[in-house]
Amino acid sequence: MRNDNQNDRERIQPVPKHKEWKCLYFERGRSGMEDDWPKGLCRYCKLRDVCTLPKPAGGVWHCQHYKAMTSRTTLYDTVKRQLEKAEEAAHFDRDICKILAETQNELVVHFPVKRDNGTVHMLTGYRVQHNNILGPFKGGLRFHPLVDIDEVRALATQMTWKTAITNIPFGGAKGGIQMDPQDFSRQELEKISRRFTYALGNNIGPDYDIPAPDVNTNPQIMAWILDTYMTTVAPCERNRSIHVVTGKPIEAGGSQGRNKATGQGVVYVIEKWAKDRGFDLKGCRYIVQGYGNVGSWSARLMKTHGAVLTAVEDVTGAISNREGIDADDLAVFVKAHGGVRGYPKAREIDREKFFSTTADIFIPAALENQITAETAPLLKVKLVAEGANGPTDTEGDRVLQDKNIEVIPDILCNAGGVVVSYFEWLQNKRSEFWDLEEIDNKLRKVMINAYERVVETAQKHRVDNRTAAQILAVSRLETVYQERGIFP
């Protein structure tokens, strides 16, 4: 069977001059930092059976994940380019754009964790605070092998735009640890989460910088962070610190609806998009990339409209069924098996076929830089609703525009998570507990309002939705900077 692995093998030859493609894992294995690393194999890619090539004469390994890291543009390049585009279109104050183009604070911590086998393992964690003129820094924590300072800078910057667009009183931040959680036991993950929290110290805080879940982090990890943070503050401060993280389990002070919030927000804006066009979601076809928190919730909530899920891709592979895949049933399977691969009620397809699936709506809900000059031409959809952060790079965006594929951009589309995080934060501060109906109603209102303002801005400035969302965010920040002035 010809699969995407073969395509990758062909595409990645030869290694370009001055730009080596190296596999992150191979490098680690070679440097001996990971004693238990299977030398000579890229373990992460092996999950997808990609990086099993023999070592080429040049001495470096080819790896599609590393290729993504070193390829044309990084997410941070894309984020900066989007700001420049908005600046050009709306003629913002140049000095204010200079401030917004930079991050405010950047923290890199290297910390040890004792593994179950008694050895010590060093990890690197990041927290980048982009801007807090609208309120405390706010943003998720990601545990992933490709986390690096540039990625965290980009994601922190995007958080500032999201909070500005949705009119919530937070700034933007992001953090993460460069690691693959699959390599660690539950006990080790707990130790890592706690030690990272300790390393961050008072660089986070309930009214200063408030983390939340992101890729490979979840309510349990938030509970460990909360518990660790609370033990580091004075006893009389502890109960006033419960809002140091959001996305907590309900019993530990979390909010109804936070777990599904990002997917719910995605579906609210899709509903609005469909309503404005007289498009019937019932019976429409959609495909989803990533079946974690955002992807699986988006898929399950689309199902409630009678929409038909026909293809899904995640890190383990891609599946398709023209008759429809039951989103709830697939979520149960993924929870039990760790991915969509092997789901018995669909057939396995390769990445190219996944992107070529004919559908009405595509919800990318995995990682950044997935819709590129290579994959965008394959898409046969009417709408891309960006559940992930930065799923479309600059070249991919151009292709989508050429093909007249509409886009609900990430900084609008996936803002539901931070909006319900704000609700959780407010409930904690006021010792209140809102019911799900109240949360959903409030979230819908915020998302629809933000959507309408993006569409109005697009019409006013005659720009695409992505640039409009960016303009909307910057104009709010510009107003506040102009009112407050620059110290001193």
Residue 214 binds ligand NAD, judged by CB under 6 A: yes
Nearest residue to 473 via CA among 171, 47, 155, 148: 171
* Structural tokens at position 143: 């545990």
Q: Which of 100, 210, 215, 463 binds ligand NAD (CB under 6 A)?
A: 215
Rounded to the nearest whole angstrom, what is the least distance from the CB of residue 249 to ligand NAD in the complex? 14
Provide the minimum distance between the beta carbon of 306 and ligand NAD in the complex, in angstroms, as a whole number.
24
Question: Does 292 help bind ligand NAD (rule: CB under 6 A)?
Answer: yes
Q: In angstroms, what is the minimal distance from the CB of 48 to ligand NAD? A: 8
Nearer to ligand NAD, 92 or 355 (CB): 355
Q: Which two tokens stand for residue 451?
A: 């959507």
Give 62-65's long-range contacts (Cβ < 8 A, gap of 24+): 62/8, 62/9, 62/12, 62/13, 62/15, 62/21, 62/23, 63/21, 63/22, 63/23, 63/24, 63/25, 63/26, 64/8, 64/12, 65/23, 65/24, 65/145, 65/146
| Span from 8-16, 95-103, 309-317, 436-444 in contact with ligand NAD (CB under 6 A) | 309-317
Does 366 participate in binding ligand NAD (rule CB under 6 A)?
Answer: yes
44 is an interface residue for ligand NAD by CB under 6 A: no
Residue 201 main-chain phi, psi, to 5 deg: 55, -135
Find the catalytic residue in 174, 191, 248, 260. 174
Phi, psi of 310 (to 5 degrees): -115, -15
Which is closer to ligand NAD, CB of 147 or CB of 307? 147
In the complex with ligand NAD, the residue whose CB is nearer, 7 or 232, is: 7
Select the span of 341-349, 363-371, 393-401, 480-488 touching ligand NAD (CB under 6 A): 363-371
In this chain, which of 216, 264, 320, 465 binds ligand NAD, going by CB under 6 A?
216
CA distance 239 to 350: 50
Q: Kindly report the number of other CB atoms within 10 A of residue 77's CB atom.
A: 14
The answer to whether residue 388 forms part of the interface with ligand NAD (CB under 6 A) is yes
Residue closer to ligand NAD (CB basis): 140 or 205:
140
Binding of ligand NAD at residue 213 (CB under 6 A)?
yes
350 contributes a contact to ligand NAD by CB under 6 A: no
Q: Which is nearer to ligand NAD, 206 or 290 (CB)?
A: 290
Of 145, 290, 396, 409, which one interacts with ligand NAD (CB under 6 A)? 290
313 binds ligand NAD (CB under 6 A): yes
Shortest distance, CB of residue 220 to ligand NAD, whole angstroms?
13
* CB of residue 415 to ligand NAD, shortest distance in Å: 7
CB within 8 A of 238, min separation 6: which ones? 230
Q: Is 80 assigned a catalytic role? A: no
Residue 365 binds ligand NAD, judged by CB under 6 A: yes
Q: Is 414 in the site for ligand NAD (CB under 6 A)?
A: yes
Closest chain position to ligand NAD (CB): 292
Tell me how far the alpha carbon of residue 243 is from its chain's centroid. 22
Give yes or no for residue 289 binding ligand NAD (CB under 6 A).
Answer: yes
Task: State the minimum distance, in angstroms, from the CB of residue 155 to ligand NAD.
Answer: 6
**Residue of the chain from 74, 262, 375, 465 that contacts ligand NAD (CB under 6 A):** 262
- Minimal distance in Å, beta carbon 247 to ligand NAD? 7
By CB under 6 A, residue 367 contacts ligand NAD: yes
Per CB under 6 A, does 396 bind ligand NAD? Answer: no
**Residue 387 binds ligand NAD, judged by CB under 6 A:** yes
The nearer residue to ligand NAD, 414 or 427, going by C-beta atoms, is 414
Residue 315 contacts ligand NAD per CB under 6 A: yes
Q: Which amino acids are annotated catalytic?
A: 174
